[in-house]
Amino acid sequence: MFKFISGKSLFVRTDITKSQEIDGLVEKTLTEYGTVDILANNAGVAVLKPIEECSLEEWDRVHNVDLRGLWYLTRAVVKTMKEKRYGKIINIGSTTGVVSFQNQFVYAAAKGGVVNLARELGCELAPYNIDANAICPGIIETPIYGIIGVSMKVKENAAGFLKEIPLNG
């Protein structure tokens, strides 16, 4: 049904907001491997601002990276998965997509879309033996914290959340 290719990787620099680059990525992947068994959608950017301070450009950037690019990439590989009647689609959402946090409406709307897209794809693609799921991690300290200027309040909340993790991550 599918083959495991050990030790072989392919790097294709791709701007997730550009459909032509996504098409190129999928074409190169299919040329190199002949198929796509698993798609992990893991692109994301965020804007943390009150609604009246968020610009249309910021809204569009977050949604183009976090949701639109994910949709287009998924759409580009589904045909291959349907033909062989097998596939796994993993969308990386966020707890912010299902739980409210202050000043995160843009990111929450995009990641909520990511979660709901996975749910709908799961229903639509099940007859083709294609699974679609979303993973919604909580707060993870990454370089994006400094880039988006995460407030001390958010960092304090993160510390509180971390105390609740049994393994003390």
Confidence of residue 94 (pLDDT cuts 50, 70, 90): confident
Confidence of residue 102 (pLDDT cuts 50, 70, 90): confident
For the chain, what are the domain ranges? 19-138, 144-169
Confidence of residue 118 (pLDDT cuts 50, 70, 90): very high
Confidence of residue 167 (pLDDT cuts 50, 70, 90): low
Q: Residue 1: its pLDDT value, please?
A: 42
State the DSSP H helix or E strand holding residue 144, giving kind and residue range, or none if neither: helix 144-148
Contact assessment for residue 127 and residue 104, using Cβ atoms and an 8 Å cutoff? no
71 alpha-carbon distance from chain centroid: 9
Q: Residue 145: its pLDDT value, please?
A: 55
Contact assessment for residue 70 and residue 117, using Cβ atoms and an 8 Å cutoff? yes
Report whether pLDDT(129) > 70.
yes
Q: Which amino acid is at 138?
A: G
Contact assessment for residue 111 and residue 134, using Cβ atoms and an 8 Å cutoff? no
7-21 residue pLDDT tens: 678 888 999 999 999
19-138 falls under which CATH superfamily? NAD(P)-binding Rossmann-like Domain (3.40.50.720)
Give the global pTM.
0.81
Q: Residue 48: its pLDDT value, please?
A: 84
- Spot the catalytic one: 86, 107, 128, 145: 107
Confidence of residue 71 (pLDDT cuts 50, 70, 90): very high
107 is catalytic: yes
State the DSSP H helix or E strand holding residue 78, giving kind and residue range, or none if neither: helix 69-84
Report whether pLDDT(150) > 60.
no
